[in-house]
Amino acid sequence: EVQLVESGGGLVQPGGSLRLSCVASGFTFNSYWMGWVRQAPGKGLEWVANINQDGTEKVYVDSVKGRFAISRDNAKNSLFLQMNSLRAEDTAVYYCARPSLSSGSYFDYWGQGTLVTVSS
């Protein structure tokens, strides 16, 4: 059974940093791209970043470029999102999600999400 379990969310002040983690199980982690999708309270879904199988290719939404960094540790079946210079508009539930292997970047499995609140 595919499982994605996020952790690391919490309350942080504007301008602060936070590192999210996602531990994967139930599939061959190093065969898949991985990604993060977020959802502000009461709002829709926004893709944040994807990373390829060996971590050499990373793609970001414009609003987080230069502030967020996606990475992975295939030995530990783990995905990370380092978030710096956080803003109030980054407040959201952050989901770890697995892009489908077949084609393109739609997400066939999602974690339960971790809440990040940016507030003073």
Count how many Cα atoms sit within 13 Å of the Cα of residue 55 in the half-sphere of its side chain: 14
79 is an interface residue for other proteins by CB under 8 A = no
Closest CA to 51 of 79, 19, 76: 79
Report the nearest approach of other proteins to the CB of residue 68 (Å). 13
Q: Which is nearer to other proteins, 85 or 112 (CB)?
A: 112
Q: Left, alpha or beta for 114 (phi > 0: left; psi -120 to 50: alpha)?
A: beta
Q: Which is nearer to other proteins, 56 or 120 (CB)?
A: 56
Binding mask 2-41 for other proteins (x = CB under 8 A): ----------------------------------------
